[in-house]
Structure 1
């Protein structure tokens, strides 16, 4: 059950979408919502005698802190009529980058809701780094919300991008509070692996049985890629449902920053109009 939600603010216009979804989820699960405003303080310049603060740095720190407090106070005013318990947390990041600080704070939440990275601009890169750090270091699931998305919440139709792996099974179980409320759940399996590393004698049978014991009636859909990208097949099926949420685990390379930049995950982050629930 989701009782503690975190929206790490990226300072981009897409934050508004993440906040709106966070409010909706908080209302659905009677949860507490925290907005995280991070003040990124640059390190003082190094010299042969170590890091020596100067008057210019002190002035910069003061301006950054004042701006962070002003941003947080404006958020508090904006959230006064949200209809859910809300707090705006202001934290400083000096010896670590702001994305890693967000991941640390997310360890104390059930779910992070973050704006989606839609392009390769500086804002897109910043959002992408934030998502990668949350997945790598928070140990908690991340709901990525594409800009201007208007899918119903809680989602009625959910696609699970399934394969028998630790990342995917963790995503599925983290998403159970949403799955049990859904009207339709499709478990989509692309090129199911054969043998003992597969998914039982019938692809998807074991996971469908497991979901049924949790009260989730799932439809198993097996697709052969035949040379097509896995992401294209997933998005094609999601569009046909139509899906309101995709649940996915880790795909691709072992290093998370490389994994999050390439393959299936990149397509789900950059080319997908639907929210994606990720775990790693």
Structure 2
């Protein structure tokens, strides 16, 4: 069960639906919800340090405080009346590292997709690209556009037989056992780990059946359609409200960066995505 959920809360327009989804998951599991706000300070704003006047720094501080107040207000509004434990935290520091540190003490981290052209101080970009690779906990990424009140009823599982995908399925089990429909999709003839894609999907379906999850397995040949486009198109065709997949990354010097398919899904996502690395 998802007993302890952490949601990142900023003052962005998408934060309210993100908190709503996290609160609903906490309530379904009779759990505890932590709202985490990362304060913006001059030290974390390289465009300010060394260039800005005292007036600009004061203006930035006022905007950051307004963002904090909006974040707290929407968190309180969304958890009001729900049968859950709730906790509000405020922290400062580099956002991805801070969320990662707090998230390691939770069953699930709920983040928002980076908003293009978001107003300064009203969102925290880059979290969805970095936290899933470093936290060691499953991350639920919510799109910046759209509301998803029925999250997890119709689940699409992207299966390639890899370690990351296996972690994602295991981490998603509390949601899969409550889903009305689960579809496993493989792409191409072979799994990443070797072996037949069709047989691998059937084996995963059999595993899920032992957890009382009735899953349909299907295979797509891929062809000329890019894998991210194929997954999002299939999710739309099936009216899926959750995509479960592995978060793939690789090292560049000492930094983990997203792999191509994972990054493309985060850039163009049209539904919530649960990722594990």
The normalised TM-score by structure 2 is 0.81
Count residues with an aligned counterpart.
262
Are 1:230 and 2:227 an aligned pair? yes
Residues 195-230 of structure 1: CA deviation (Å, up to 9, x unaligned): 972358824122122111111111111111112101
Give the match for residue 208 of structure 1.
205
Say whether 1:198 aligns with 2:219. no
**Counterpart contact for 1:5–1:111, Cα < 8 Å:** yes
- 2:30 is the alignment partner of 1:30: yes
Q: Which of the numbers 240, 243, 265 marks the counterpart of 1:268?
A: 265
Give the secondary-structure state (helix, strand or coil) at the position aligned to 1:87: strand
Cα distance in structure 1, aligned partners of 2:249 and 2:79: 42
Query: Is 1:178 aligned to 2:175, yes or no?
Result: yes
Change (3 A) 1:199 1:141: farther
1:28-67 correspondence to structure 2 within 5 Å: 28-43=28-43
Q: Aligned ranges for residues 80-91 of structure 1 at < 5 Å?
A: 81-83=80-82, 84-91=84-91
Query: Larger deviation: 138-147 or 249-258?
Result: 249-258
Contact 1:79–1:86, Cα closer than 8 Å, also in 2: no
Between structure 1 and structure 2, the one with the greater Rg is 1
Q: Which range moves more in the overlay, 270-279 or 79-88? A: 79-88
Separation in 2, partners of 1:142, 1:73: 22
For the structure 1 residues 138 and 179, does the alpha-carbon distance in structure 2 shift closer, same or farther, using more than 3 Å as the test? same
Which of 22-31 and 79-88 deviates more?
79-88
| Cα distance in 2 for residues equivalent to 1:85 and 1:64 | 30
Task: Confirm or deny that 1:279 pairs with 2:272.
Answer: no
Please tell me whether residue 78 in structure 1 is matched to residue 89 in structure 2: no
- Unpaired runs of 5+ residues, structure 1, are 45-55
Are residues 199 and 100 of structure 1, via their aligned partners in 2, closer, same or farther at CA, if it must alter by over 3 Å?
A: farther
TM-score (norm 1): 0.80
CA contact (8 A) 2:161 2:192 kept: no
Aligned twin of 2:216? 219
| Matching of residues 242-257 of structure 1 within 5 Å | 242-251=239-248, 253-254=250-251
Asked whether the equivalents of residues 179 and 185 of structure 1 are also in contact (C-alpha less than 8 Å), the reply is yes
Cα distance in 1 between the residues matched to 2:91 and 2:266: 27
Summarize the Cα distance change of 1:17–1:72 in structure 2 as closer, same or farther, 3 Å threshold: closer
Q: What CA RMSD, in Å, does the superposition of the two structures yield over aligned residues? A: 3.2
Output the CA distance in 2 between the equivalents of 1:207 and 1:129.
32
Change (3 A) 1:123 1:267: farther
Unaligned ranges ≥5, structure 2: 45-53
- Over residues 108-151 of structure 1, what are the superposed CA-to-partner deviations in whole Å (9 max), with x where a residue is unaligned? 111111222353x2569x65511123212211111111135343
After TM superposition, the structure 1 stretch with the greater mean CA deviation from structure 2, 250-259 or 109-118, is 250-259
| Partner SS state of residue 197, structure 1 | coil
